[in-house]
Amino acid sequence: LLRTDLPGRLETGVWLTRGVRGHGVGRAAMAAVLREAAALGATSVCAETTASNAGALAVLDRFGFDFRPSDDRGCVHALLAFPAPLEPAPGPLT
């Protein structure tokens, strides 16, 4: 977690090796990140990923992040304002 210029907002980034993708590790990692952000008193968490990163987009979506369209670099910006569920919505692993 990285503090941003906005009070209460933290930035996260989670990278997984190919061998653990699709096994719920991303969801577990994001749940831990959001619990830590809440414990630190964050009011929101932001993330950035590429428009082609379907796995990251799925995890962020499952936790309720709101998305802004891709920018000229092909990045999607996501924002989650607390209070928010700290566990993902049920659904198949992606």
**Percent helix / strand / coil, the chain, rounded to 5:** 30, 25, 50
Looking at domain 2-81, does it have CATH number 3.40.630.30? yes
Q: Are 65 and 30 spatial neighbours (Cβ–Cβ below 8 Å)? A: no
pTM, two decimals, is: 0.81
Per-residue pLDDT of the chain (94 residues; tens, 9 = 90+): 999 999 999 999 988 888 887 888 999 999 999 999 999 999 999 999 999 999 999 999 999 999 998 778 889 999 999 875 556 666 665 4
**How far is residue 13's CA from residue 56's CA, in Å, rounded to a whole number?**
10
pLDDT at 92: 62
The sheet with strand 44-50 has its strands ordered as 2-3, 9-11, 44-50, 75-81, 66-68
Closest alpha carbon to 49 in 73, 27, 17: 73
**How far is residue 72's CA from residue 20's CA, in Å, rounded to a whole number?**
30
